[in-house]
Structure 1
Amino acid sequence: MTSHQTSQTMKPATAAKKLGVYLAATPAEFREGVVSRAELNAFQADPPEWLRELRRNGPHPRPVVAAKLGVSISGLARNGVTEALTTEQIEELKREEPEWLRRERATQAEVRQEAARLKKLREEKAEAREEARPRS
């Protein structure tokens, strides 16, 4: 018997998320169809012009906006940024650097420091357990 392998497909929203683009800004044929794993791989390996343009100028989904601004998605929401932003809008926010952005960046830096501290602590505990383990 031979096994028949079906093509794995995903909804356009899932594919857009994996590609890091805002679904509403993608072409209609992308939004209205399904995307196979092979198509997704092709988009990643050799992006069409519309995908390159979206990645370059946006509008960008909130996770991308948050990363470009150096804040969390929650930080965006706390400060009323709930819509996709273009690269130009993101750059303008960076230039203006409003108080909320400075505050959220500081919060994000603290979160990263705490995560690094906890990771180091876990690693040290694991090493101590390994050293304390009897050798045979």
Structure 2
Amino acid sequence: MTPHRTSQTMKPATAAKKLEVYLKATPAEFQEGTVSRDELDALRSDPPAWLRDLRRNGPHPRSVVAARLGVSISGLARGGVTEALTTQEIEELRAENPEWLQRERATQAEVQKEALRLKEKNATPAKPARPTSRKRP
């Protein structure tokens, strides 16, 4: 006889992070309860209307905003963006293309280029060391 397994639960903040939505924009019942792994899987596979709307229109958490703008979260902070933005606000920023956004995109491109270079370097097998022969006196 196997013991009854309880489902793991998580705080709403963790679930919102996994769903890539801004917690403060979720319904009150989501924010106040706990979310089981099964419930999280159900939200992912068949998202309710509120979740589809949040993903489409926002407000989006900073990680999503950063990804949509092609910058890092730190780059957002340096640019003065500290709060969640809606899809419309993200599009307006893209259209405006302020200097800080251009600079942060260039920085992010350099970081990604360097990461790729290091990945390729580490993927190339190192040449085996050649044994040296020592002459004994």
**Fold shared by both chains (TM-score > 0.5):** yes
Larger Cα-atom Rg: 2
Deviation at 1:3, TM superposition (A): 2.5
Give the letter for the 2:119 counterpart: K
Separation in 2, partners of 1:6, 1:22:
28
Alignment-derived partner of residue 81 in structure 1: 81
Question: Could you tell me how far apart the structure 1 residues matched to 2:105 and 2:87 are?
Answer: 18
User: Tell me, what secondary structure is at the counterpart of 1:56?
Assistant: helix
Q: Give the aligned partner of residue 36 of structure 2.
A: 36
Tell me how large the CA RMSD over aligned residues is. Answer: 1.2
Residue 45 (structure 1) aligns with: 45
Q: Quote the offset at 1:32 in angstroms.
A: 0.2
Shift of 1:128: 2.8
Residue 71 of structure 1 aligns with an amino acid whose one-letter code is V
Tell me how far apart the structure 2 counterparts of residues 97 and 79 of structure 1 sit (CA, whole Å): 12
3-state SS in 2 of match to 1:91? helix
In the alignment, what sits opposite 1:62? 62
Specify the alignment match of 1:6 in structure 2: 6
Counterparts of 1:128 and 1:48, CA distance in 2 = 51
Identity of aligned residues (%): 74
Q: TM-score, normalised by structure 1?
A: 0.92
Structure number with higher helix proportion? 1
| Aligned positions, number | 129
Length-normalised TM-score, structure 2: 0.91
